[in-house]
Structure 1
Amino acid sequence: MIDDSLLSQMKEIGMSEYEAKVYVILSALRVASAREIHEQTKIPRGRIYETLTTLAQKGFIVSSGKAPQRYSPVDVTRTFERLKRESVNSLEGLHERLKALETESPVPLMQGYKLLTDWTRDNQIRMILHRAKTEIIFLCNDEEFLKKYGSDISRAAKRVPLYLIVGRKELAESATVKCYLGGKDIGSSFFHTVAGESNGLSMKLLLLADRVESLSILEENGKRTGIFIYPDMYAGYLSRKIVQEIVPVERLQKRS
């Protein structure tokens, strides 16, 4: 839910109601498509692109420039420092600066975002499962996450090839889709810490979609952090290696 007091503060610096809602949601999600923003804000679909265009022109957000376009906020500190400087300039000077921003090329390099709250992580995971078009790889060894996203995983598996990879065979018994086990490389890299290599950091979940984006949830000393990367230049290679190594759980059961 969007904080009404935060929206009021955004409107005080000149944003419209829709601009404030879109900017606040993007600041939380870090990256999203126009459709996802529409679903989160309930802003009429016809007004979403108009609002995104206005925010981009004002220098608050940037787009990926690729279809489907994804949008993300410019660094908050940098954005508001700029606003402070520009507040003393004339409207003409402000207009020229914003027009200059409009002509800049979208950032093509790999972008990483921290997802620090449960709400942000949950929404981004569900959006990835919903928007994936060609393939989903979901590595998880935590029953809590498998239950939380079980229905989302099931729906996604009906649309695209989905590989649900678990670290323990017994987790597959409660799963709603076909499960896989990985070999030694997957086990040591994602599920089990190699002796002498423990640094207190463990991976709870790794989600790879369409071989172009990734989301991981890491835990250190009881504190969880999500890392979302788009476009992830390593996602394609990692996805191919994982698919080559995994084995269906039922195939292992037949051998026993």
Structure 2
Amino acid sequence: MQKIIDLLKRTGYTEYESKAYIALLQNEGVTAYQISKDSGIPRARIYDVLGSLLEKGIVTKNEVEDKIYYQPLPVDVFLKKTTEDWQDDFSSLSNSLNSLKQKQKTAVAKVVEIREKDTILTYIRSIIENAQQKVIVSMWDDLYELLAEDLREISKKVPVHGITLHVENGIETVDKHRSTFFTEKPNSNSWFIVSVDSSQLIYGPSISEDMNAFYTNDPVHIRLLEDYIWHDVLVNRVVSRSENHMEDWVKEERAKFFMDDR
């Protein structure tokens, strides 16, 4: 029951409004006293709660022999009304927020931390969907599988370039990273970068439930990370066209440069 109440609260109803509506569904055509008794809403509050639901059109009342009986809106009608109200509110909110955004004369360069897997995925999908010029990516198969549909859809509108690791049947315009000592190490970090229109970029470590990532619109960050992707693409193409022992040379030079076995 509490789960239903929590869901109703997320759609804009208060705790008491949710309890009152549920009580009416379970026992239609009853008085305020009975609703208070069934729902656990204090009698001192029940009339205010029912008055609020009447204003919202969620319940109706009928007076019979000096007593007022309340009826709930049928579930299918309630759900349709709630959906329509939410869509209207969302549309109004979207227009209002976008109008505020358009009033900003210059964008402030920023780097913002994003937490939690679903929030990060929603953020990435949002900037991909709004791409106007290009999308540049660098990612491993775990994240690519979650974004494959979004990337294929936007690739019909704008160019998508970059590089992927361990991805099969990816977008043709995105390079496939060769297998190397580094990519096959069990503890290799599956870093990702998603850049859109060279104006928005999200990057972070391996995908997980408690992951964190970073969003930036800072031109310096974006230029550096896009250049990093291009460098990775270029090296991958050069090595793939060279003799086999080139890979061993790259491995040795990498170790010398970083002075570790990363």
Q: Smaller-chain TM-score range? A: 0.3 to 0.5
TM-score (norm 2): 0.47
- Higher Rg: 2
